[in-house]
Structure 1
Amino acid sequence: MSLHRSRPQRRMGTRLVLVLAVLLSGWAQAAGVPAPPFAVPVDQEGVQRAGIQLDSYAYVPSHLIVQAGKPVELTLTSVTFIIPHNFILLEPSAGLTIEQDIGAGKTVIVKFTPTKPGLYLFYCDKKLPFFPSHREKGMEGRLEVRS
């Protein structure tokens, strides 16, 4: 019996971890408990992959921990049916300049490599006239970059 897993099995394991993280974060958020940070695993290809759901004024999970100098791939999925969102993370000194729109019910992948440790905010700045922005309603998250 071989101890090495095939590529599809490795990806299945990574996907299972991501699904569990999203479900646990969503449960904690619904219960009013701050969700714990999600340490994004590095896969066999050396990429840190995570999924984030964009819901009504929330990112789930909302706090990700990644390693500096290693590529990150975030799969952003809007689970709303009407309201579009975006993902903005602007910290050029750390290699983070992301402004990505995500249409209602759509999925987008963003790729970047953080270069400097620190705690960086990401947010949605979508806004309807005469209403507070999504960020003002609490649609913010944190990317914690560690060395």
Structure 2
Amino acid sequence: MDLYLRVARKPFAMEFLVVMGLLLPISLLVAGSPLTISVPIDSDGVQRAMVEVDSFTFTPHHLIVIAGQPVELTFKSVTWVVPHSVIIDDPRFGLHIQAELPAGENRMITFTPTIPGSFAIYCDRKLPFVKSHREKGQEGRLEVR
């Protein structure tokens, strides 16, 4: 009996094959995109990384940097219409970064973190009567070690 006839008689087997066929590409996509990175230090001593900004996401969404070393983060908007902002604000640690990010553009922010801690990176955009981008999940994390 060939494979087609055996699968055709067992609907569960066919459903299993379809589900696995759909999940495999998704799992490979997720596994291939780093969500957490330790930001590398270039030869000039600056920690540099590119963060992609899409509708309600930052990728990677968790950046790990070293205190006392300069950091240069480039935020690249991949949206066509919706503008975003990039905010890292924690007065207790002397961090107050706010940058506007128009759709389709890049913004570079530079700073030198001095105190270890964990800080939110978020977009504060909000239209009337709807949740803000941050409330919809557009929040990342800057971890200073």
Tell me the TM-score normalized by structure 2: 0.76
Paired with 1:51 and 1:33, the residues of 2 have a C-alpha distance of 16
2:124 aligned with 1:89, yes or no?
no
The residue aligned with 2:53 is: 54
The residue aligned with 1:130 is: 129
8 Å CA contact retained: 1:40, 1:49: yes
SS of alignment partner, residue 124 of structure 2: coil
Rg: which structure is higher? 2
SS of alignment partner, residue 126 of structure 2: coil
8 Å CA contact retained: 1:95, 1:112: no
Once the 2 structures are TM-superposed, how far is the Cα of residue 95 of structure 1 from its aligned partner? 3.4
Cα deviation 1:30-85 (Å, max 9, x = unaligned): 64999542000111000000000110100000000000010000001110000000
Paired with 1:33 and 1:134, the residues of 2 have a C-alpha distance of 25
SS of alignment partner, residue 93 of structure 1: helix
Change (3 A) 1:54 1:109: same
Identity across matched positions, percent = 50
Paired with 1:120 and 1:93, the residues of 2 have a C-alpha distance of 11
Change (3 A) 1:67 1:139: same
Cα deviation 1:109-128 (Å, max 9, x = unaligned): 00001110011111101011
The residue aligned with 1:38 is: 37
SS of alignment partner, residue 53 of structure 2: strand
SS of alignment partner, residue 43 of structure 1: coil
Identify unmatched segments of 5+ residues in structure 1: 1-26
Identify unmatched segments of 5+ residues in structure 2: 1-25
Stretches (4+) displaced over 2 A: 30-36, 92-95
The residue aligned with 2:74 is: 75
